[in-house]
Structure 1
Amino acid sequence: MNKWIRGTNATVLSIAVIGIFIILTIFLHSLKGFQLDLTKNKSFTLSEQTVTTLKNLNQDIHIIAFTNSGAGSDFITRQVTDMAAEYKKQSGKITYDEYDMLKQPSMAKQYGVDQSGTLIFELGDKKKNVNFAELFNGQQDGSYTFTGEEKFTQAITSLTSTEKHTVYLLSGHQEYPQNAMTILTSSLISSNYVVKDLNLYREGKIPDDAQMLLLLGPQNDLNDKEAELINTYLKDKGKIYIALGFNKDMATKWKNIDSIMKTFGIQDQHAVAIEPKQTSLYDPLTIIPEYGSHEITNKLASNNLITMLSLAVSLNADESAGEWTKSVLLTTSDKAYGETDINLLAQSKTKQDAADVKGPLNLGYAIQNKDNKPKAVILGGSTFVLDEDIQNQGNKDFALNSIGWLQEQKDQVTIRPRQGDAFQQALITPSQANTIFIITIVFFPLLFLVIGGMIWWRRRRG
């Protein structure tokens, strides 16, 4: 009788414990958004900024993940898709689907996605693409940063924003054409910019809807009438983004471009920056400048993302132009110098002499008016906006940050990237692998089975 009672009590207790776990699981599952993140870097905890954005979301966003099972990047895919699923969990306005490009190539072709993996954010007819490769930045020690949350929240904010920014790309002076800057222009369009070409000589005026002029990589000078139109535009609410190109005759033929920059107290020193260095990765005419402390560059500096300029021209600020506040964005080391004899560059005979400009050299400025409102960004180089260079390191982020700052974008999202440790790989021999298999898969289960059987046998015998 006692054995029967003890057996019954044990059964009832087991059922009760199992029931408690089931009820607790159902209860926790019913708590929307509740989770306990025990990962070292809080990999599943969204920032307050993202949670607020998702909470205030009143439009339906469809997220589509196109993965590639044959790309051999399961770790990257899992990081991205886990975060996309977390966004869906946080908001009922988000739906999420996932497709393997190898198994469903027609869907991938329909959206024209990158083969390494792409996320599509959809709101009606509006789309925002985020490539998996854009979300990870590797470090020399093998660690990495993951900027998925920032890019996801930026995409959602961009889609739901109704504000448009109309900017004009100046042409007619051998500036870079749009087809040489497709990545930059598509990124601007996806960030709610309207990008248009403007040939002042043909149009005869600056359109009324122009919120900013972009002068990117000009080889030739503006004429007097064009300069007059631009100066009149800038005296009002107009803004300008100048990224200088290179011309061997710039010292004598850039009168009007120099005049526009001089309006803001910025002087073109007509000297090409050269940074002596011992490396085979890039030549001395390619500059990796240091960042000044500014809203445009602070995030890039903290994430150790460099900006690269080629054939950059050194600039200087005239502090007597007190109407404008001039902040240095990019500067060289004190070992750099500005080569003033441009003819020597073509002959590869550059060597610092007394006529050259001594370093450190300033290569970029952000200009604000007396009310601390952004007015101009002036840069000594422009190659970083070209398709072949813009994906290098922080070039794209610098371009978008500086244009966004000048346009006073209030919806720019800055979320600190998550840090990931370097991958740890254990190398074992086949015999060691067999030993691990036998111990974990065979020995331990058999051991627990034997111990359980012995306990059962002893209880049965009384």
Structure 2
Amino acid sequence: MNVSFMRRLNGWLFALLILLGACAIGFLTARHDHAVDWTYNSRVSMSPETRAVLAKLDGPVDIISYASPQGDLRQTIAAALQRYQQAKPDLHLSFVDPQQDPAAMRNLGVTVDGELILHYRDRQQRMDTLTERSFTDALERLVRGNDRIVAFVTGDGERRADGLGNADLGTFVSQLEQSGMRAVPLNFSQVTSVPEHTDLVVLAGPQAALAPGATKALTDYLASGGNLLWLADPGNLDTSLQPIAEALAIRVLPGELVDASSAALGLKDPRMIALGDYPPSRITRGFTLTTLFPEVAPLAEVRKSDWKPEPFLRSSPQATTQSLNGSTTASLKGPLDFGFALSRLSPSPAKSEQRVAIIGNGDFLSNSYLGNGGNRALGERIFDWLLGDDQLISMPPRGAPDRVLTVSQGELSLLSVSFIVLIPLLLLVIGGMIAWRRRRA
């Protein structure tokens, strides 16, 4: 057989095999897709928080989208939810044409084309816009079951839950409300007791003495099984708060913490207490982020009671105390506790456990300091524990650590030289070698 013919035949067969392989690859990729995300914690594909919330939902989630079949809205919604369905196969999506039955849509309260209603067990959540943040918040609300009512004591100079001042808690509270908590004011000049169905009361550093009626209402609330978060600032413990401290068997010690070792972390003020290690507790289990606490009041257990105290914030051994006028109090040396989680069997038959947290600092959740390290993540853990949402405590913190590229001046100079000089020079050398070989051939 002609050698030339065999060579041509082999060439045609090889081309045919390549064509068949390309067709097979195209056929498979049209029906199966595989994406790889190399960013930290797969931030581009799905956040760790979203994956964690999906894992908490131990049953099917049905999503109904009231989207018009005209246009590309349905395809957009289906494509956006596809990655969540890959992580949770029992997440089902269906569409309803809102134009088919306008009366039924009015009864449902559907006013936006493409509005989503999520159903999980006997719970439901609505979404007008579909983003990963809004979707994750809706899933968290499904896990909680219903909105948690958090009452913030007001009227005596406390940190405001809706305030924008440096010492207020507005930024943190607005983020809590997105995940199923509802903040309401509690002014004891208008009411004589904590309203029913209040899940948590927050006493955030009153600047003036509480009225006797307010103190009695709070102690009665504790006696009846209510949950409390007390943010106690240094120097603000007056006689009006003493009954609350006595009921909890916790004492706010005089003075404030100072820690000279904070200078090693670049902190110029020794009153800034930075923590990276935490005593073992249900709030801080698995928590490794660094938190920052300015102007901290030390706490101590004064006697045994039916409360089970669990310290979860503790200073370093190098810490000591100083009075508020700056003189050192040598009798109190670290490590000193400034955060306690208290629990006991609830006096109320509606709850099995009563929970209280007292922290010798309220600034760490304020608008000024919330963005420092893991302050926000720790605050979310504290609220989740106080509200009994233990399954949400171990949720990964929001945000991704790889959004900012930090390089030194030497690394920046090396990168600049590489892109401006080395890479173009390398391309010239390669091009010259190719041209030299072709000339020799």
* TM-score with structure 2 setting the length: 0.70
Q: What are the equivalent positions in structure 2 for 1:305-316 lying under 5 Å apart?
A: 305-306=290-291, 308-316=292-300
Alignment size in residue pairs: 366
Equivalent-residue separation in structure 2 for 1:437 and 1:86 (angstroms): 40
Equivalent-residue separation in structure 2 for 1:57 and 1:422 (angstroms): 41
Equivalent-residue separation in structure 2 for 1:390 and 1:315 (angstroms): 22
Please state how far the C-alpha of 1:10 moved relative to its aligned partner.
1.9
Please state how far the C-alpha of 1:386 moved relative to its aligned partner.
1.3
The 8 Å contact of residues 374 and 408 in structure 1, kept in 2 or not, is answered as no
Q: Does 1:185 align with 2:173?
A: yes
Shift in CA distance, 231/336, structure 1 to aligned 2, threshold 3 Å = same
Equivalent-residue separation in structure 1 for 2:406 and 2:341 (angstroms): 37
Q: Aligned to 2:384, which of 404, 407, 425?
A: 404
Could you tell me the percent identity over the aligned residues?
Answer: 15
Please state how far the C-alpha of 1:193 moved relative to its aligned partner.
0.5
Between stretches 159-168 and 177-186, larger displacement belongs to 159-168
Shift in CA distance, 271/419, structure 1 to aligned 2, threshold 3 Å = closer
Equivalent-residue separation in structure 2 for 1:314 and 1:194 (angstroms): 30
Secondary structure class of the residue paired with 1:369:
strand
Q: In structure 2, what is the equivalent of residue 170 of structure 1?
A: 153
Equivalent-residue separation in structure 2 for 1:269 and 1:52 (angstroms): 42
Shift in CA distance, 204/51, structure 1 to aligned 2, threshold 3 Å = closer
Please state how far the C-alpha of 1:324 moved relative to its aligned partner.
1.6
Equivalent-residue separation in structure 1 for 2:261 and 2:344 (angstroms): 38
Q: In structure 1, what is the equivalent of residue 269 of structure 2?
A: 283
The 8 Å contact of residues 59 and 160 in structure 1, kept in 2 or not, is answered as no
CA RMSD of aligned residues (A): 4.0
Q: In structure 2, what is the equivalent of residue 207 of structure 1?
A: 195
Equivalent-residue separation in structure 1 for 2:303 and 2:150 (angstroms): 29
Q: What are the equivalent positions in structure 2 for 1:212-227 lying under 5 Å apart?
A: 212-227=200-215
The 8 Å contact of residues 269 and 316 in structure 1, kept in 2 or not, is answered as yes
Secondary structure class of the residue paired with 1:291:
coil
Q: Aligned to 1:324, which of 307, 315, 325?
A: 307
Shift in CA distance, 436/235, structure 1 to aligned 2, threshold 3 Å = same
Please state how far the C-alpha of 1:167 moved relative to its aligned partner.
0.6
Equivalent-residue separation in structure 2 for 1:11 and 1:192 (angstroms): 66
Equivalent-residue separation in structure 2 for 1:255 and 1:415 (angstroms): 40
The 8 Å contact of residues 50 and 153 in structure 1, kept in 2 or not, is answered as no
Q: In structure 2, what is the equivalent of residue 457 of structure 1?
A: none
Equivalent-residue separation in structure 2 for 1:334 and 1:328 (angstroms): 15
Q: In structure 2, what is the equivalent of residue 133 of structure 1?
A: none
The 8 Å contact of residues 325 and 370 in structure 1, kept in 2 or not, is answered as no
Q: Deviations over 1:119-152 (max 9, x none)?
A: xxx952478885xxxxxxxxxxxxxxxxxxxxx8
Q: What are the equivalent positions in structure 2 for 1:56-455 lying under 5 Å apart?
A: 56-59=60-63, 87=84, 124-125=127-128, 154-158=136-140, 160-161=142-143, 162-177=145-160, 178-179=162-163, 180-247=168-235, 250=237, 254-277=238-261, 279=263, 281-289=267-275, 290-300=277-287, 302=288, 304-306=289-291, 308-321=292-305, 323-339=306-322, 341-342=323-324, 345=325, 349-353=326-330, 356-370=331-345, 373-410=353-390, 412=392, 414-415=395-396, 426-427=414-415, 428=417, 430-439=420-429, 442=431
Please state how far the C-alpha of 1:443 moved relative to its aligned partner.
5.2
Equivalent-residue separation in structure 2 for 1:332 and 1:20 (angstroms): 65
Equivalent-residue separation in structure 2 for 1:35 and 1:128 (angstroms): 20
Query: Which residue type is aligned with residue 313 of structure 2?
Result: L
Query: Which residue type is aligned with residue 342 of structure 2?
Result: I
Equivalent-residue separation in structure 1 for 2:304 and 2:216 (angstroms): 23
Shift in CA distance, 129/431, structure 1 to aligned 2, threshold 3 Å = closer
Please state how far the C-alpha of 1:13 moved relative to its aligned partner.
2.3
Shift in CA distance, 61/376, structure 1 to aligned 2, threshold 3 Å = farther
Query: Which residue type is aligned with residue 328 of structure 2?
Result: K
Equivalent-residue separation in structure 1 for 2:81 and 2:87 (angstroms): 10
The 8 Å contact of residues 374 and 405 in structure 1, kept in 2 or not, is answered as no
Query: Which residue type is aligned with residue 351 of structure 1?
Result: T
Please state how far the C-alpha of 1:331 moved relative to its aligned partner.
1.0
Q: Which runs of 5+ in 2 are unaligned?
A: 67-79, 94-124, 347-351
Query: Which residue type is aligned with residue 155 of structure 1?
Result: D
Equivalent-residue separation in structure 1 for 2:139 and 2:395 (angstroms): 12
Query: Which residue type is aligned with residue 21 of structure 2?
Result: I
The 8 Å contact of residues 243 and 380 in structure 1, kept in 2 or not, is answered as yes
Query: Which residue type is aligned with residue 169 of structure 2?
Result: M
The 8 Å contact of residues 218 and 246 in structure 1, kept in 2 or not, is answered as no
Please state how far the C-alpha of 1:176 moved relative to its aligned partner.
0.8
Equivalent-residue separation in structure 2 for 1:272 and 1:22 (angstroms): 73
Between stretches 154-163 and 326-335, larger displacement belongs to 154-163
Equivalent-residue separation in structure 2 for 1:447 and 1:88 (angstroms): 56
Shift in CA distance, 40/386, structure 1 to aligned 2, threshold 3 Å = closer
